[in-house]
Chains A and B, each alone.
Chain A
């Protein structure tokens, strides 16, 4: 399944890495570098899935997740973060994310998580 995926991360390096993986697998990619841009892009681009970083200037990832879910209850979000703490994962799950992947990403991990969530599943490994 080829999907439209929105990457929300303040790191251009992280966005480029993910774009390379996702476009390589045939997906269409949109990017946002902060929370405000993310919300705007989400409603303009109507992505099938969001990959969301947690630590960003201004609105942090949890705030963006909360806002997205308020505005679109069906929003499919995978948190993609360097923060490996179990408590962060639990917070993301409680906030309505459908998956959690940690940096550094590898191609298989990202594509498997994306595929799982796009087909209605969740991924918390």
Chain B
């Protein structure tokens, strides 16, 4: 399963806008400048998503996971290594950096994940003119392998996933996180279809 160069360009543009909005939201929440790497777009067999994620994140991670549904359905994840999670927690709650997340810290991270993931996916919904419906987000503190246990792709779908990921960093710090979106093949096909329509609308303005 391959993306054409035209689809890759349109998708990259869409992601730039969505992730840019997500970074803007994160910047407002933390009061820090957020630096985004160029997003990477890959199509994998579903069983390889874990391997791909393990390449970019090691050890235990804090993940805010949000399932979304509608014409585009899948999983969105904000993944933070432990250091990033503690720093983000400290910035949000305006307190010194700690070594563990208490209940207030967990709540704060879930809300941040909710805002950031909605910012990104909401842009997709607006630009592609499809309604995306979000489930309640959840927070997990575990290995990347553990995170993958919570990613669901409908069994009746073909076994491919579109993974879009980018690293972001808080300026003046070494901490970073990842935004990951995984779509099953049915949604992936719908996404490509809507990208074509979006491009047509853009060109006719």
Contact = CB atoms under 8 A, between A and B. Distances in A.
Given A103-B115, A106-B28, A13 B123 contact: no
Highest count of chain B CB atoms <10 Å: which of A13, A56, A82: A82
The contact size tier of chain B is 20 to 34
Q: Could you tell me the dominant secondary structure of chain A's interface residues?
A: loop
Given A84-B123, A85-B122, A85-B126, A104 B25 contact: yes
B114 A82 contact: yes
A55 B131 contact: no
B108 A13 contact: yes
A119 interface: no
B50 interface: no
A47 B199 CA distance: 47
Contacts, number: 55
A84 B104 contact: no
Interface residues of A, number: 19
Interface in B162-179: none
Contact of A83 (B104, B111, B122): B122
A93 to B, nearest CB: 15
Contact of B114 (A11, A12, A87, A106): A11
Contact of B135 (A12, A55, A82, A85): A55
Contacts of A10: 136
Residue of A10, A12, A84, A106 contacting most chain B CB atoms (<10 Å):
A84
B132 interface: yes
Most B Cβ at <10 Å: residue of A14, A86, A104: A104
Nearest to B109: A13
B104 A13 contact: yes
A84 B122 contact: yes
Interface string B102-133: 00100110110011001100110110000110
B107 A12 contact: yes
Interface string A91-118: 0000000000001101000000000000
A74 interface: no
Contact of A84 (B110, B126, B136): B126
A57 interface: yes
Contacts of B188: none
B158 interface: no
B119 A84 contact: yes
B111 A11 contact: yes
B111 A13 contact: yes
B29 interface: yes
B104 to A, nearest CB: 7
A12 B104 contact: yes
A106 B136 CA distance: 23
B125 to A, nearest CB: 4
B107 A85 contact: no
Contact of B107 (A11, A104, A106): A11
A13 B126 CA distance: 27
Given A82-B114, A84-B119, 4 more contacts: A11-B114, A83-B134, A85-B122, A87-B125
